[in-house]
Each structure stands twice: as C-alpha cells, then as structure tokens.
Chains A and B, each alone.
Chain A
Amino acid sequence: MTDVELLLREQAPQVLSALVRHYGHFDLAEDAVQEALLAAAQQWPEEGLPDNPRGWLIRVGSRRLMDLLRSESARRRREEDAGQFVADVPEVPAQDDTLTLLFLCCHPALSAASQIALTLRAVGGLTTGQIAAAFLVPESTMAQRISRAKRSIKQAGSTFEMPPAAELDARMSAVLHVLYLIFNEGYTASSGTALHHAELTTEAIRLVRGVRRLLPDDGEVAGLLALMLLTDARRAARTTADGALVPLADQNRSLWDQDAVVEGEALVSDALAHTRLGPYQVQAAIAAVHGTAKKAEDTDWRQIVALYDVLEQLVDNPMVKLNHAVAVGMAVGPAAGLAVLEPLESDGRITEHHRLEAVRAHLLEMAGDPVAARQSYLLAARRTTSAPERDYLQAKADRLG
C-alpha cells in the first residue's frame, strides 16, 4: 500500500460520515465518497497532496453527491426536492463517527458476506475491485452485493446514529465478529492468491486499531487486536515456499514477528488485568502462551487447558471444545484428549466437520494407533474443502501407511 492509499483509506470513513451527517442519503453518499477517493488516487500522486486532504475529499464528494441526488431526483420526477441541492459543503467534523459507520455496515439485517463487503468499502475505503479480488468473485458480483446491502439497510429503516444502549453490546459483538471474519479470510494460508489475502489481514488489524483508538478501555477490542497480532505474527512460518501448511509444532519460530508477539502479549495482559473478561481476550491469551514459547516443547499446555476451561464458560462453540481436546491431549495424554472429544460425536454442529476427524487422527497417532489414525486422517482429507488442508492431511496419512 502506498502512502497516498493509506491516507485515503484513513480518510474514507471520516469523509463519508461528514457527508451523511450533513446530507443523509447513506447509500448515495457512499458511492460519492468512492468516486472522490478514486479521483484523489489518480490526482494526488501526480499533482501532490492538497493542503487539507480531508477538506478536499469532502468538497469533491459533496459535489459528486449533489450530482447523484439531482439525477436520482430527476429520475423520480421529484422536482420539489431539486432546489435544496445547493453545494453548501459540510465542515470537516470535529467528532469521529467511524463507530457509527461500523454499526451501520454491520447491521443485523445483512448477511455476513454483505457486512464484510460493505465494511471494507465504506469504513476501509477499499475499492469494489479490490474487495472482489480478495474474495475471488467478479467485480460486478461484488458491486451488486454492496448495492444490495445498502438497500437492505435503507429498508430496515436504519439511520446514521449510535444504536440504543440496550442493543449496544450485541451490536458491538457483531462489529467485532465482522472484523474477525475479515482477518480470518486474510489469514487462511494460500499460494496463488497470497497477496490479496495478506492485505485483508493487514486491513482488519488497521480497522481494529481504529476502533481501539475510539474505545481504549474496551477489553474485547483490545483482546481482538491482540488475537490478530499474535496470530498474524506466525504468517511467515505457517506455510512453506510452495504454499504447503506447516503445523504450529513444526514452525520455525525465528520467523515469527517478535514485535507483533510482544505488542499482542502486552495488550492482552493489560486487558485481562483491567477489564471485563471476554472471549477474544481468552483466545488472545491462548495465542500468547503459544507465542511466548521459545520451542514447541516449551509450550505450557496446562495453562492452555485452563484457559480453554474459561473460554468454554464464555462461549458455546464446538470448535472451542475441539481445541480444548487437543490441549488436554498435550497436557495430560491422548486418551484424556479423546475423552474430551466424545461428547462432540453427538454434536450435530460438528459431527461431519473435517477438523473433528483431524483432531481424532492426531490424538490416535499420539496414542500409538497408526491404523486408526490413518483412517481418520484420510476421512478428514476427504471432508475438508481446502486444498492445502487436504494435502497436509493426505501427507499425514501417507506417512502412517
């Protein structure tokens, strides 16, 4: 990302908020801001930055919004509205409305895919083309998804205001979850599309940093940022040059980004000590135990088991139980780990998931049952829909064959 690109992305939510506060019309204002950003991306590198970049974007965006409103109005033959579209440009606002914007983009009326797309465009300042490339769909598909999302928000009657206090916690969880999904999409290791994917990870971290600046005392925001930093720190070590997955235990830890580990660990320690406990903090704490182990053998698995015990009190998620079983397998032994898996056999949310079979395979291999382990690895390899995961699981099975 160039300096101009970064500047534009940082300005995107501020400029959009200024326009929406002044004129309303979130859907059209969002299009207008995109056009202003594109104009700036073309002009600034050649002509140099304007004295007041945000003011410039607000002015150009306002002008574009006026055009859009006029043509919309003409289309609907609402002549009586046309008179009000004089270009009284909004001032550069004093307050930061990024949170309000995030709540709108992560509106519960939208599907997860739409929340992600709209957040990346309206808050992240990414172009439709960039978002489409990251999700490997045609640009027209992504453009339709974003328009549709904006129409849905309009139909839901949502306005550019903070959610009512009673809804705030749930709406905040939705926002953090969308940012987490963007990160996860970027974190999945890949060969051919690595460039686009890594950018989503960086973007998610940038967005959470922005939220943290606005809510410095929120433990879950800190926890999510810590979790992202500690996870992303492993990026260089978790794949080989040809895109094959390297499991945590086999990673070359000298490739881990130590700055990110240190920052993540400090963030989560501070949040755990001073704020209300939440699931992102606990997940970050688990990532920190891994991150601070110099060698895989040094991992404090008992500490990790204890943290999973806490996490299971906070969330009802079979994936958490699955990871808990791995930790118990390492801390106590494979038989104990397999015992933790047992209740998952009848949990419909996960019975056919490849990770259940992969964990079983791993524990069976530890338990010295290569025949059963191989069967489980093979079944897991057939169940996954990820090519690198399939190759990894197939290779594990081959080694036991």
Chain B
Amino acid sequence: MVPVKYMLLIYSNPESWASLSAEQRDGLTRAHADLYKELDEQGLLVAGAGLADPITTRTVTIRDGVTAATDGPYAETKEHLAGFYLVECDDIDQAIGYAARMPDAEYVAVEVRPVMDSSGLEM
C-alpha cells in the first residue's frame, strides 16, 4: 500500500539537552525548521510538533475506578518524548532518512514507527 504513514518520535533527556552548546541548540532549531518546511512543501507532512518540558506533564491513570493525574511522565526513564512528526512516505527507508536528519538522533534517538492502518486485505 502506498503511501504509508510513519510516526517519527524524538527522544531527549534533560542532561543531554543541558550539555548542548548554544550553537548546537541553534543547529537543532534550524535543522527542524528546514525539515518541517521541506516535508510541508513536498506534501508529506500530516502533523508535527515539539512537546513542552516533561515537568509540565501530567500522567492520567484510572485504578479501581479512581482517576488520578500525577505530575511527570509515565515512563520511568531519563529519556522523554520531546516531539514528533507524522509523515507519509513511500516506504520505511524514506522515513528513516528523515529521522537521520534530526540532530536529536545524534544526541539521544529518534524512533520510526509505522502507523496502524484501519484497512487491510483479506488473507
């Protein structure tokens, strides 16, 4: 099936972010501005955004019917989700190519995940 949607998930952690120089942070901003513009102009960008710092995160859980919203991210790792792109590509290699242009891949990592399709073929 063509084209396929991929989610590019950008991971960061507070230490790696703090250790970046001003030039590196500028480079990061520029790389994303360029990539965003290019994907938009090519008609491949479905959505994309940066996410606010994890200290602003609330995690919602329901346990035994009780809803709670606690401070901070759900995953108990140093790394957190810092942003995402939802793109349409001909195949996963094209999506990997875009992920590889994000400096975040150098500092922490970018995940490429196919989006589930609501349609399918009979077996």
> What is the interface of chain A, defined by CB distance below 8 A to chain B?
111-114, 116-117, 135-138, 141-149, 181, 184-185, 187-193, 197, 234, 238, 245-248, 251, 358, 362, 384-390, 392-393
Cα A248 to Cα B122 with chains together (Å): 7
Which residue of chain B is the closest to A392 with respect to CB atoms? B123
Question: Once the chains bind, are A188 and B2 in contact (CB under 8 Å)?
Answer: no
Question: Once the chains bind, are B118 and A187 in contact (CB under 8 Å)?
Answer: no
Cα A193 to Cα B118 with chains together (Å): 8
Cα A144 to Cα B43 with chains together (Å): 4
Q: A145-B43, A245-B120 are in contact. List 17 more A-B contacts (CB 8 A).
A: A112-B2, A135-B3, A136-B5, A141-B40, A143-B43, A144-B41, A144-B43, A144-B45, A145-B44, A188-B1, A190-B120, A191-B118, A358-B123, A384-B120, A386-B119, A387-B117, A392-B120
Say yes or no: A116-B2 contact (C-beta < 8 A), given A192-B118, A392-B123. yes
Of residues B1, B4, B115, B118, which shows the largest number of chain A Cβ atoms within 10 Å of its Cβ? B118
Question: Once the chains bind, are A246 and B122 in contact (CB under 8 Å)?
Answer: yes
Closest Cβ of chain A to B83, distance in Å, is 18
Cα A247 to Cα B90 with chains together (Å): 27
Closest Cβ of chain B to A249, distance in Å, is 9
Cα A389 to Cα B90 with chains together (Å): 20
Closest Cβ of chain B to A21, distance in Å, is 27
- For A197, the chain B residues whose CB sits under 8 A away are 119
Closest Cβ of chain B to A174, distance in Å, is 13
- For B1, the chain A residues whose CB sits under 8 A away are 184-185, 188
Question: Once the chains bind, are B46 and A141 in contact (CB under 8 Å)?
Answer: yes
Q: Does B104 contact A (CB under 8 A)?
A: no
- For A192, the chain B residues whose CB sits under 8 A away are 118
> What is the interface of chain B, defined by CB distance below 8 A to chain A?
1-5, 40-47, 88, 90, 114-123
- For A392, the chain B residues whose CB sits under 8 A away are 120, 123
Closest Cβ of chain A to B90, distance in Å, is 5
**Which listed residue (B5, B45, B90) contacts A112, Cβ 8 A?**
B90
Question: Once the chains bind, are B123 and A388 in contact (CB under 8 Å)?
Answer: no
Closest Cβ of chain A to B95, distance in Å, is 12
- For A238, the chain B residues whose CB sits under 8 A away are 122
**Which listed residue (A147, A181, A234, A386) contacts B2, Cβ 8 A?**
A181
Closest Cβ of chain B to A151, distance in Å, is 9
The 6 closest A-B pairs by CB, nearest first: A145-B43, A190-B119, A386-B120, A144-B43, A188-B119, A389-B120
Question: Once the chains bind, are A385 and B116 in contact (CB under 8 Å)?
Answer: yes
- For B119, the chain A residues whose CB sits under 8 A away are 188-190, 193, 197, 386, 388
Closest Cβ of chain A to B53, distance in Å, is 28
Cα A392 to Cα B120 with chains together (Å): 10
Question: Once the chains bind, are A386 and B46 in contact (CB under 8 Å)?
Answer: no
- For B90, the chain A residues whose CB sits under 8 A away are 111-113
- For B114, the chain A residues whose CB sits under 8 A away are 385
Of residues A138, A192, A385, which shows the largest number of chain B Cβ atoms within 10 Å of its Cβ? A385
**Which listed residue (A148, A189, A358) contacts B43, Cβ 8 A?**
A148
Of residues B88, B114, B120, B121, which shows the largest number of chain A Cβ atoms within 10 Å of its Cβ? B120
Closest Cβ of chain A to B23, distance in Å, is 31
- For A114, the chain B residues whose CB sits under 8 A away are 43
Closest Cβ of chain A to B45, distance in Å, is 6
Closest Cβ of chain B to A326, distance in Å, is 9
Closest Cβ of chain A to B97, distance in Å, is 13
- For A144, the chain B residues whose CB sits under 8 A away are 40-43, 45
Which residue of chain B is the closest to A142 with respect to CB atoms? B43
